[in-house]
Amino acid sequence: MENFLLKLSIMLVPALLAITCHEVSHGYVAYRFGDNTARSLGRLTLNPLKHLDIIGTLMVFLVGIGWAKPVPVDFRNLRNPKRDMIWVAAAGPITNFLLAALSALALRSIMFLEQQYASVLAISSFLEPITLMLGFSVYINLLLCLFNLIPVPPLDGGRVLVGILPDRQAAAYSRIEPYGMILIIVLVFFTNIFSYVLAPMLDVGIRLLTGPQSGLIYSVTTFLMR
């Protein structure tokens, strides 16, 4: 129980922030392009309780990937629905990447401080939990970014692809959306997409953003996921 609470204290804030900001960014960009649906329903808020999906949140702690309640977007209200859909969909992964980059920058800064003041025990004790949370933040935000870019609707990558394709091909491809979640479950649990596609890309992203601190990210995630 004590071990679970320790993991929860490290994972909770970064996970909620990653999922919440992902959804809010969709609603905000949709609002900027003419759709007021999310704003009228009170979903343009960073209050995680407005976006929380219990099962999706639990999955973060169980398997390292989860989801929130999707922010509603009525694409018919967008000024240019097909083009604007690309930006609305892409907003989520872009936000997660930016959060990962900011977390990595903060992590590098903290590691520098720890090296400079290693003899000051109070500083090290204070910075250690922040370091662990930032390490998990880099991981979870990059993973959410990459996972949501899988080009299968209703994932963001699928909607970006529908917006890019010519009208006839886009209409045909969008018809798979009702079966999209089944396809995603099959891809994640019954294929090697994570091992052969997502994991290598995740590794590149972590090494690119954190450099010498990449080993810390893997230590933190190994501890949290076991």
> Residue 194: CB partners within 8 Å, gap ≥ 6?
188
- Rounded to whole angstroms, the Cα distance separating 216 from 135 reads 7
- Rounded to whole angstroms, the Cα distance separating 113 from 90 reads 35
Q: Which of 2, 23, 114, 177 is catalytic?
A: 23
- Rounded to whole angstroms, the Cα distance separating 31 from 137 reads 27
Residue 114 falls in the annotated catalytic set: no
Q: Name the DSSP letter for residue 72.
A: P
- Rounded to whole angstroms, the Cα distance separating 110 from 124 reads 10
The total of other beta-carbon atoms located within 10 Å of residue 194's CB is 17
The total of other beta-carbon atoms located within 10 Å of residue 111's CB is 18
Q: Which residues are catalytic?
A: 23
